[in-house]
Amino acid sequence: MTCKKLLVWGLLLLTPGLQATEADFTQPVTVSADRSSGDFTNRTLEYIDNVQITQGSLKILADRLTLESSEDKSHQVMIATGNPATYQQMMDNGLLAKAQANEIRYDINTQDLIMTGDAELSQEGSLVRGETISYNARLQRLTAQGSADEQITTIFMPTERNNDEQEQQQTEPQP
């Protein structure tokens, strides 16, 4: 699997318990930027200025994208940076997942996704915001950490009840 595809797979893991649409994985991965450079001795690739990564409904925008890999593939990390770097993708449940942070880092081997610097993860009005948000896809564990000046914020949107349930509750006698 190429570094570009691994980046896409890694960034899809932003929303715990949700799956990206399978159709996205059959689409080509496109990376565009104003400039690109590679250091093949040190096994790094960089895309610089106006970086855009797309694959189906997935879209990542960043100022810079760095791909790092060791020869034996024991170290494979993708780092998208920006002010902020952003991610969005349609999930199988039909809802759009969005995230942003100053840095979005994904370690392919450990399946750790770490967003730092004004990190925010949202879907359908629900939100987690903090200085750092970490998600391990293998374990499906999310942690968020505030800064010295600000605590984390989590907003949960209530699920909508259908009209029949609401009407029934309004007509039932209250004790």
Name the residue ranges covered by the structural domains of the chain: 3-170
**What pLDDT, on the 0 to 100 scale, is given for residue 169?**
55
**What pLDDT, on the 0 to 100 scale, is given for residue 80?**
93
140 torsion bin: left (phi>0), alpha (psi -120 to 50), beta (else):
left
- Name, in order, each residue with C-beta under 8 angstroms of 48's C-beta and a sequence gap of 6 or more: 33, 34, 35, 36, 37, 63, 64
Smallest Cα–Cα separation from 115: which of 98, 101, 127, 136?
101
Write out the chain's pLDDT in tens, 175 residues: 443 333 333 333 333 444 556 677 677 778 899 999 999 999 999 999 999 988 788 788 999 999 898 888 888 888 999 999 998 888 777 888 888 999 988 887 777 878 999 999 888 888 899 999 987 766 767 789 999 998 988 888 887 665 555 555 555 555 5
**What pLDDT, on the 0 to 100 scale, is given for residue 136?**
75
Q: Per CATH, the architecture of 3-170 is what?
A: Sandwich (2.60)
Q: Map tokens 């690739």 to a residue.
A: 45
Helix, strand, or coil (residue 9): helix
**What pLDDT, on the 0 to 100 scale, is given for residue 50?**
97
**What pLDDT, on the 0 to 100 scale, is given for residue 92?**
74
pTM, to two decimals? 0.71
